[in-house]
Amino acid sequence: MNFGGGGFPFDDFMGGGGMPGGFPGGGGRPKREPVDNETYYKLVGVEKDATFDQIKKSYRKKAIKMHPDKGGDPEEFKALTQAYEVISDKDKRELYDQGGV
């Protein structure tokens, strides 16, 4: 161990930086992958700048066609409904557009 040279005592142990059990080379946040925040808009069939009325109208048209009682796939209908619930709510939509939800 290097206690007298002015370096961090664990430099020799860790190979150049960091704490025991930590990540060598420093902290910081890990790099995030780009977030897909367009899928819900595509599912509902609108652009990202669509108004709430446009979203509602498009959702209703698709919901009628995709409803399981009309022969649609239940999983696809659930995905459509989830997308609508997010992008039709002002707060949830804002979070989704920022990469959350």
Where do the domains of the chain lie, and which CATH numbers do they carry?
A: 1-30 (no CATH), 39-97 (1.10.287.110)
- Structure confidence at residue 37 (pLDDT): 81
pLDDT attached to residue 99: 84
Residue type, 6: G
- Does residue 44 contact residue 59 with C-beta atoms inside 8 Å? yes
CB 84 within 8 Å of CB 44 = yes
Query: Which residues of the chain have a pLDDT value below 50?
Result: none
DSSP 9: T
**pLDDT attached to residue 20:** 57
Contact 67, 75 (CB under 8 A): no
**What pTM was estimated for this model as a whole?**
0.65
Total number of residues shown for the chain: 101
